[in-house]
Structure 1
Amino acid sequence: MTVPEGGSGPEPAGIVSRGVAAVLDVLVLVAACFAVQAGVGCVRLLVTGPPFRFPEPSLWLSGLSGWVLAVLYLACSWAAIGRTAGDRLMGLRVTDRAGARLGLPRSLLRAALCVTFPLGLVWIPFSRRRAALQDLVVVSAVRYDWR
Structure 2
Amino acid sequence: MELPEDLPQNGAARVTVPTAARSVQGHRAGIVTRTLAACVDAAVGVAAVALGYAGVVAAYFVLSPRGFSFPDPGFGLLFACFLGFLVCYFTLAWATTGRTYGARLLGLRVVNSRGDRVRPLIALWRALLCVFVPIVLFWVVISRENRSAADMLLRTSVIYDWASS
Q: TM-score, normalised by structure 2?
A: 0.79
Cα distance, 1:60 vs. partner? 3.3
Change beyond 3 A, Cα 1:91–1:50: farther
User: Could you tell me which of 32, 53, 73 is aligned with 2:48?
Assistant: 32
Is the contact between residue 77 and residue 83 of structure 1 (CA under 8 Å) also seen in structure 2? yes
How many residue pairs get aligned? The number is 143
User: Could you tell me which of 130, 133, 136 is aligned with 2:149?
Assistant: 133
Cα distance, 1:58 vs. partner? 3.7
Q: TM-score, normalised by structure 1?
A: 0.89
Alignment match, 1:68:
84
Any idea what the Cα deviations from partners look like across 1:77-105, whole Å, max 9, x if unmatched?
11111100000001000010111111211
Task: Give the letter for the 1:138 counterpart.
Answer: L
Q: Which has the higher helix share?
A: 1
SS in 1 for 2:110: strand
Q: Give the RMSD, CA atoms, in angstroms.
A: 2.0
Change beyond 3 A, Cα 1:53–1:133: farther
Alignment match, 1:78:
94
User: Could you tell me which of 74, 91, 112 is aligned with 2:128?
Assistant: 112
Task: Give the letter for the 2:32 counterpart.
Answer: V
Gaps of 5+ in 2: 1-16
Alignment match, 1:143:
159
Aligned sequence identity (%): 36
Consecutive aligned runs of 4 or more in structure 1 exceeding 6 Å deviation: none
Considering only CA atoms, is the larger Rg found in Structure 1 or Structure 2? Answer: 2
Alignment match, 1:123:
139
Change beyond 3 A, Cα 1:103–1:61: same
Any idea what the Cα deviations from partners look like across 1:106-137, whole Å, max 9, x if unmatched?
10110010001112121102112111111112
Alignment match, 2:111:
95
